[in-house]
Amino acid sequence: MTTAQAGSAATAALNTEQRAFNFSAGPGVIPEEVIRIVQQDLWSLFGSGIGALEHSHRGKEFDRVLEEAEADCRRVGNIPDNYRVLFLQGGATTQCYQVPMAFLPEGGTADYFETGKWASDSINQAGLYGKAHIAGSSKATNFDRIPDDADIRYSDNPTYVHFTSNNTIMGTEWHRMPPTPPGDAWFVCDASSDIYSRPIDVTKYGFLYAGGQKNLGPAGTVLVIVRDDVLERQVRKLPWMLDYKLQAAKESRYNTPPTFGIYLMGQVFKWIERQGGLKAIEKYNKEKAQVLYDAIDATPFYTPHARLHDRSLMNITFKTPSDELDKKFSAEAEAEGMFNMGGHRSIGGMRASMYNAFPIAGAQALAQFLKDFAQKNG
C-alpha cells in the first residue's frame, strides 16, 4: 500500500468510526463539522498546498487566519473598537499571575471572589504583587454557590475586581454581574469555561480571559479581551512575552504564536455564527442542561452539588448515595459510551461537562442512564 493509499484508508476509517459522548471538563468537545474542515486544512490551507500546521506566522496565509479569527471573534462577541483581542500562550493559569503582575501596584489592593479552585489560584498569585481582598466567598459551603449580593464586601479602593464566571469543578456559574465596585475599579473575568456560551456585554468588563480548551478550541491558547485604557494602566516593566501592550502592538505575535490554536479558534467562531450566534448557542446550552438537571431532580437518589439558582449550564455536578456507587456509575456509563464522568478529586461524585459543541443526544443518553441506574441501584 502506498503512502497516499494508506492516508485515504485512514481518512475513510475516521469518517465512519462512531464518536463517543465526551463529558470531559477540558479539553472539551470540538464541533464535528469543524473537525472535518480541519482535516482538509491540515493538508492544504486556502489551496496553498501547505497545511495549517506548517505555514509561517509571518506569511500571507497566516495573516489571513489571524485577521479572520479576530474579526469573527469581535463579531460573535459584539466587541467594541476600544478593546483589543489577543491570542496568547500559557493558558488561563498564566493569567492568574500575569494580570496582577501587570496591573496591581506594589502596596495596592485587588478584590477577588473566592468561588472555587481556579478563583483561589488567582487569589494566591495576586498575593505575589499586592494585597488580595476577598470580596465574597462560598468556601464555607464547599463552593456550592455564588455569593449573594448581601454578602459581598468590597475594599475601599480596589484596583480591579476579579471573578471566575463559571466554576468548572463545583458546577456553579455567575448568572448576573457582581455589584458595581467602588471608584474606578474595573472587572477582570476568568471566563475559561463559559466564554461564548451565551451573549455577553463586553463593555461591562475591563479585561476578560479564557483558556481555549473548553468552548473555543485547543489547549495552550488563551483569548484575552482588554479595554484600551486598561492597557495603559500597566504599573511595572514586564518581560516581553508577558507585556500586554507589546503583544497588542505586535498583533499577538511578538514571537511565533500558537498558530494552530488561533486557526482552530477562528474556525469555531465561524461555527458559532453558523449556529445563529450566541443567543442560539445559549438556547441550545439551556436545553441540554435542563435535560440532565430534570433527570437528577426526578429522584432523591442523586444529590446535586450546586445551589439551584447558581447551577452551571456547562458543568453538571452530582453524587449518588455512596462513593462505591459513584465509581460504579462512572464505570458503567463508560461501558455505554459516555466517557470522563468522574468528578474532580476535590469533591468526588460525577461531573458532566457539556460545552457548546456537545450534542444534545449525549445529554439525552445520559438522562436515560441516570434513570436506569437509579432504578437498578436505589
Task: Choose the catalytic residue: 41, 72, 111, 118.
Answer: 118
The pLDDT value given to residue 18? 81
Q: Is 288 labeled as catalytic in the residue annotation?
A: no
Residue 131 amino acid letter: K
321 and 209 within one domain? no
Q: Specify the number of domains making up the chain.
A: 2
Question: Average pLDDT in the 209-213 region?
Answer: 95
Whether 33 is covered by a domain: the verdict is no
Residue range 111-167, pLDDT digits in tens: 999 999 999 999 999 999 999 999 999 999 999 999 999 999 999 999 999 999 999
The pLDDT value given to residue 347? 87
Domain boundary among 211, 243, 274: 274
CA distances from 274 to 31, 65, 261, 373 (A): 12, 18, 20, 37
Q: Is 60 labeled as catalytic in the residue annotation?
A: no
Is pLDDT of 211 > 50? yes
Alpha-carbon gap, residue 191 to 152, rounded angstroms? 20
Question: Average pLDDT in the 174-178 region?
Answer: 97
347 and 230 within one domain? no
114 and 144 within one domain? yes
361 and 228 within one domain? no
Q: For residue 104, give the CATH number of its domain.
A: 3.40.640.10
Whether 32 is covered by a domain: the verdict is no
CA distances from 287 to 66, 293, 313 (A): 33, 10, 9
Q: In sequence order, what are the residues at sequence separation of 6 or more whose Cβ sits closer than 8 angstroms to the Cβ of residue 340? A: 22, 23, 24, 25, 353
217 and 99 within one domain? yes
pLDDT band of 16, cuts 50, 70, 90: low
Whole-model pTM above 0.85? yes
Whether 58 is covered by a domain: the verdict is yes
Residue range 77-89, pLDDT digits in tens: 999 999 999 999 9
Is pLDDT of 3 > 50? no
Residue 180 exposed, middle or buried by CB count within 10 Å (0-12, 13-18, 19+): exposed
Whether 3 is covered by a domain: the verdict is no
Whether 35 is covered by a domain: the verdict is no
Whether 12 is covered by a domain: the verdict is no
Show the domain range for 115: 45-274
Task: Choose the catalytic residue: 41, 111, 144, 190.
Answer: 190
Is pLDDT of 6 > 50? no
Percent of the chain residues past pLDDT 70, beyond the cut: 96
The pLDDT value given to residue 346? 81
143 and 56 within one domain? yes
Question: Average pLDDT in the 95-104 region?
Answer: 96
Decide if 69 contacts 87 (C-beta within 8 A): yes
Residue range 334-378, pLDDT digits in tens: 999 999 999 888 888 999 999 999 999 999 999 999 999 999 998
Q: What angle do CA 274, 203, 30 make, to 5 degrees?
A: 30
What cell was used for 84? 483589543
The pLDDT value given to residue 10? 43
- Using the structure block, give the residue that is written with the C-alpha cell 514586564: 238
pLDDT band of 9, cuts 50, 70, 90: very low
Is pLDDT of 107 > 80? yes
Is pLDDT of 13 > 60? no
Nearest to 17 by CA among 25, 27, 9: 9
Is pLDDT of 105 > 50? yes
Task: Choose the catalytic residue: 41, 72, 214, 243.
Answer: 214
Question: Average pLDDT in the 264-271 region?
Answer: 98
Quick count: other Cβ atoms within 10 Å of Cβ 147?
Answer: 20
Question: Average pLDDT in the 66-76 region?
Answer: 98
Alpha-carbon gap, residue 285 to 283, rounded angstroms? 6
Alpha-carbon gap, residue 250 to 48, rounded angstroms? 25
Alpha-carbon gap, residue 75 to 276, rounded angstroms? 12
For residue 353, the cross-strand partners are 315
Give 52-61's long-range contacts (Cβ < 8 A, gap of 24+).
Answer: 52/259, 52/260, 52/263, 53/259, 53/260, 55/259, 57/253, 57/256, 57/257, 57/259, 58/253
Q: Is 190 labeled as catalytic in the residue annotation?
A: yes
